[in-house]
Amino acid sequence: MITIVIASYQYGHLAAHCIESVLSQSKQPSKVFFVDDGACDCHHLPDMYPDIEYVFRRQNLGTVKNFQDMLMRVETDYVMFLGADNWLRSDAIELLSPFKTDIVTYDIIVTGELKSEIHERVPQMTFPLHGDFYWNRVGQHHGSMMYKTALGQQIGYSQSNSKHPQEDWNLWDQMIERGATVGSINQGLLYYRRHKSNFLKYCSETNEQSMLRQNLELLTQTECIE
């Protein structure tokens, strides 16, 4: 019983690839949400994939508020968030389903124009594989970890009172602090596309820089024109 939440902001040109990877799973999820967080470039998708439940926001909420709102809509035992610019290996849900732990992590295949940045940043956890980079995440968080919905809803997505700028890292920290059990799959189940629009999210960004970036996003947000 798992819900997949596909989140998009300016990824309308990539989203169909992500959706196809979910719909082609050897074991289907119970439900699939797709949310366009105010970019207004995904209105072509319902005609192509009518069985998915869509949320089209008129304004950009930003990652934290967007994820929190979508998390509270989930009713299945487990949930997984996917960026619409990424995609899953076809047997990912089948391999994840037997786990009963509070969180399940798995390894990542890093691809895309800026894939080498990951290897430069964490060379001890990555190695070249078929032209991409394999990223070992055994026992560690990432944004598309599978976790128990009820526990996630108790904690919620937030960036306050944390040393980490990433909302998924904050969620992980608080789940671990509450004694969450963790299972891991030592296989690359997620293809993580590294490109210019997501390059600045990580290690060089401090909390202060993260807050500044969010404030700039709010200042530049625009309403969708229907």
The pLDDT-based confidence of 224 (bands split at 50, 70, 90) is: low
The better pLDDT of the pair 169, 42 is held by 42
Residue 165's contacts (CB-CB under 8 Å, 6 or more residues apart) are: 159, 201, 205, 206, 207, 209, 210
pLDDT in tens, 23-64: 999 999 999 999 999 999 999 999 999 999 999 999 999 999
pLDDT surpassing 80 at residue 187: yes
Q: Which of 20, 31, 146, 21 is nearest to 95 (CA)?
A: 146
> Mean pLDDT throughout 7-18?
95
Which pLDDT band, with edges at 50, 70 and 90, does 143 fall under?
A: very high
Task: Tell me what pLDDT residue 165 has.
Answer: 65
Residue 220 has pLDDT above 50, yes or no: no
Q: Where are the domains of the chain?
A: 2-97+139-182+197-220
Q: Please say if the pLDDT value at position 134 is more than 80.
A: yes
The mean pLDDT of 167-171, rounded to a whole number, is 88
Mean pLDDT calculated for residue range 73-78: 98
What is the token pair recorded at 88?
A: 């899953």
- Confidence band (pLDDT; 50, 70, 90) for 204? very low
pLDDT at 178 over 70: yes
Say if residue 214's pLDDT is above 50: no
Residues in the chain: 226
Percent of the chain with pLDDT over 90: 75
Query: Does 211 score more than 80 pLDDT?
Result: no
Tokens of 51: 């069985």
Nearest-angstrom CA–CA distance, 222 and 10:
12
pLDDT at 115 exceeding the cut of 70 = yes
Looking at residue 206, what is its pLDDT? 44
Q: CA 116 to CA 120: how far, in whole Å?
A: 6
Lowest mean pLDDT among 9-18, 113-122, 162-171, 193-202: 193-202
Query: For the chain, how big is the Rg over CA atoms in Å?
Result: 17
Based on the number of CB atoms within 10 Å of its own CB, is 136 exposed (0-12), middle (13-18) or buried (19 or more)? Answer: middle
Q: Give CATH for domain 2-97+139-182+197-220.
A: 3.90.550.10
